[in-house]
Amino acid sequence: MRALKLFRGIGATAAVAIAVLGFSAVIADASGPGTATSNLTNVSGGYVADSTGNAEATSNAEFTVTPGTLSLNQVPNITLANTDVKSIASGDTNLAVTSNAPTAGTAYDGNNTGTLNITDYRGNNAGWSLTVGLSPFTSGTATITDATLTLDQTAGTLDNSATAVPNSIKLTQSPVTNGWISSPQLLWTAAANTGEGNNTATTASSSNLAITKQADIVAGTYDATLYWALQNAPAATTPAT
């Protein structure tokens, strides 16, 4: 236990009075370190180092880290190879993804490089989840009756190496209700303590669209809308049975 060094010559009675009044910590010859009410900013004589001990002091070092946002920055367009009426009318057809840009459609957020990007700079390590859904393929009044999009993403930059890579999912055509897809699928989830920083993936060449045989297929350019939704927490998981 450190002892306070008192002024030489101070009487015992005065010293007791000082202690009783609670002023002992502001005596100029104290060795420190200070307290919230008595410290080097208000002790006029400073702390003394002599043969009885060191003069000791403490001070603060501090900085603030401000939070950022969880953001969905890029989503890919999915353009598929062309086919013909004969192929769809006579049997099931599988269309590979291409690097071409779409020529029609009413969705404007997608890029033509296949890039998916999410950044998480919130600083709360809460995790997140990304879902996507597929509307029906239509061309005017014509509709593809049965199609499934296999969507594979190849992970790129992941600032937190513990972050899981995107799932391989199969999207069936789903109804759109009140302007949004009714049955999205979970494409990517970052559990708590993962997903921080920059997260990038690219549409893999294994992605494809499987169209079931449709004898009454109508010629035309068919477009569907992909609906992407980023939530600020991991998706709930169903326990294995």
Q: How many CA atoms lie within 13 A of 147 on its CB side?
A: 25
| Segment 132-182, tens digit of pLDDT | 999 999 999 999 999 999 999 999 999 999 999 999 999 999 999 999 999
Please give the distance of CA 151 from its chain centroid, rounded to a whole number: 21
CB 21 within 8 A of CB 44: no
Least confident interval from 30-39, 64-73, 88-97, 142-151? 30-39
User: How far apart (Å, rounded) are the C-alpha atoms in residues 54 and 113?
Assistant: 67
Instruction: For residue 10, give both structure tokens.
Output: 């101070």
Q: How does the average pLDDT of the chain come out, rounded?
A: 88
Strand partners, 201: 116, 155
At position 44, the amino acid (one-letter code) is S
Could you give the C-alpha distances from 132 to 149, 150, 197, 201, 236, in angstroms and in order? Answer: 11, 12, 21, 14, 16
In the DSSP assignment, the letter for residue 57 is -
Residue 237 confidence (pLDDT): 57
Residue 235 confidence (pLDDT): 85
Please give the distance of CA 12 from its chain centroid, rounded to a whole number: 65
What's this model's pTM, rounded to 2 decimal places?
0.82
Could you give the C-alpha distances from 24 to 7, 30, 48, 188, in angstroms and in order? Answer: 11, 8, 15, 63
Pair type for strands 226-231 and 138-139: unpaired
Could you give the C-alpha distances from 127 to 13, 103, 194, 216, 227, in angstroms and in order? Answer: 65, 36, 6, 46, 21
pLDDT of 18 above 50: no
CB 171 within 8 A of CB 148: yes
